[in-house]
Amino acid sequence: MRRIKFLFAFCCVFAVYASSAVEITGTVPVNVTADTAAAAKARAFNSAQRDVIATELRPYANVEQLNAAIKQSSDDELSDIISSSSVAGERVSDTTYTANISFVIDGDAAKSWMEKYSVVNSLPSSNATAVVAPENYVVAVATLYNPIYDWAALNAVARTAGVDIATKNVIGSRVSFVVSDMDASKLSRTLRDNGWRVVRDASGIKISR
């Protein structure tokens, strides 16, 4: 996701409470044959971590974008979002490796990786900080009951309104971002025209389906 960088004084603060770190676990059975047992084991781990990431992050992400990101990523890059792994039922021969491999995915690392590859996602972050709006900007908070599809729909409405928005914080079903005063009016009007509920008060804009 693109990030908005502000080079002038902050004047309006909207606090978003941080969530605890997210850990996601999954287990994959493997049975891989290669020229050597060591090669089979390495291939098994690399394949299994791709399977776990694809399966366990699916509920939090646009599946097509997620699969494309996995294909583009190296094994080492995907290993960076795995915080730990364990093995059960391991059996090794001269050329074959069989086991049940369990992985723990680091939620914050996974979120950063998905944002790098522009994967629309609703994965919570434990690194959420206050969302800050500079002068002549406001904070918008959207409550998305179907995070992936509602966020895509919200972006589609924003494009119709000619408003560029960038995700600042995602905590569960709530997404926070900043827009200029002028864009806020256009976005609010276009959202209402498309069936969204929009409330504007002193703290900013509240959006929901």
pLDDT digit of tens for each residue in the chain (209 aa)? 333 332 222 223 223 333 345 679 999 999 999 999 999 999 999 999 999 999 999 988 889 999 999 999 999 999 999 999 999 999 999 999 999 999 999 888 898 899 889 888 877 766 545 566 778 888 888 888 787 788 889 999 999 999 988 766 776 677 888 888 889 999 999 999 999 999 887 778 889 88
Q: Are residues 156 and 187 in the same domain?
A: yes
Contact 97, 42 (CB under 8 A): no
In this predicted structure, what is the pLDDT of residue 26?
A: 94
Same structural domain, 61 and 33: yes
Maximum separation of any 2 CA atoms in the chain, in Å:
69
Do residues 30 and 112 share a domain?
Answer: yes
Q: Which of 92, 116, 140 is the last residue of a domain?
A: 116
Alpha-carbon radius of gyration of the chain: 21
Position 140, amino acid:
A
Residue 2: burial class (beta carbons within 10 Å; 0-12, 13-18, 19+): exposed
* 15 lies in some domain: no
- Give the global pTM: 0.57
The reply to whether 57 and 102 lie within a common domain is yes
Q: Report if residue 72 sits inside a domain.
A: yes
Distance CA 107, CA 122 (A): 11
Q: Is residue 13 part of a domain?
A: no
Q: Are 32 and 108 contained in the same domain?
A: yes
Of the candidates 85, 21, 19, the one whose C-alpha atom is nearest the C-alpha of residue 51 is: 85
* Residues 156, 78 within the same domain: no
Q: What is the CATH number of the domain that holds 176?
A: 3.30.70
Report yes or no on 6 lying in a domain: no
The residue from 65, 94, 116 where one domain ends is: 116
Q: What is the count of structural domains for the chain? A: 2
Distance CA 129, CA 14 (A): 10
Kind and range of the H or E element at 46?
helix 37-56
Same domain, 40 and 66: yes
Q: Specify whether 98 is located in the same domain as 151.
A: no
Whether residue 42 is found in the same domain as residue 109: yes
Residue 10 confidence (pLDDT): 24
Are the beta carbons of 119 and 12 closer than 8 angstroms? Answer: no
pLDDT value for 186: 93
85 shares its domain with 150: no
Domain that holds residue 65: 23-116
